[in-house]
């Protein structure tokens, strides 16, 4: 009996969720329009501060640190 009630409850939740997904597609479109009013795409290249320019050495150090942590996490 408990299994039957559980199965019916899960079926009801799936049915309700399915209805809410189809109804929320239009609200998703509206939400996206609102978000585009507030947020802009990120620039292709992020400008560096004048007092701290990007150098080849800094890029190499960043790549080394990234490789170190990738190895450390995978191990």
Domain ranges in the chain are 2-40+51-74
Q: Summarize pLDDT for 22-31 with one digit per residue, the tens.
A: 556 778 999 9
CA distance 75 to 63: 18
Consecutive H or E run containing 61:
helix 56-74
CA dihedral defined by 41, 46, 47, 48, rounded to 10 degrees?
150
The series of mean pLDDT values per 10 residues for the chain, 75 residues long, is 56 57 73 91 88 91 79 65
Q: What is the pLDDT of residue 48?
A: 87
CA distance 20 to 25: 9
């Amino acid at each position: 009996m408990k299994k039957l009630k559980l199965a019916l409850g899960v079926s009801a939740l799936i049915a309700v969720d399915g209805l809410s997904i189809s109804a929320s597609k239009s609200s998703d479109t509206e939400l996206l329009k609102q978000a585009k009013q507030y947020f802009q795409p990120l620039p292709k290249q992020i400008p560096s501060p004048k007092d701290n320019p990007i150098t080849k050495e800094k890029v190499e150090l960043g790549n080394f640190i990234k490789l170190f942590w990738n190895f450390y996490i995978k191990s």
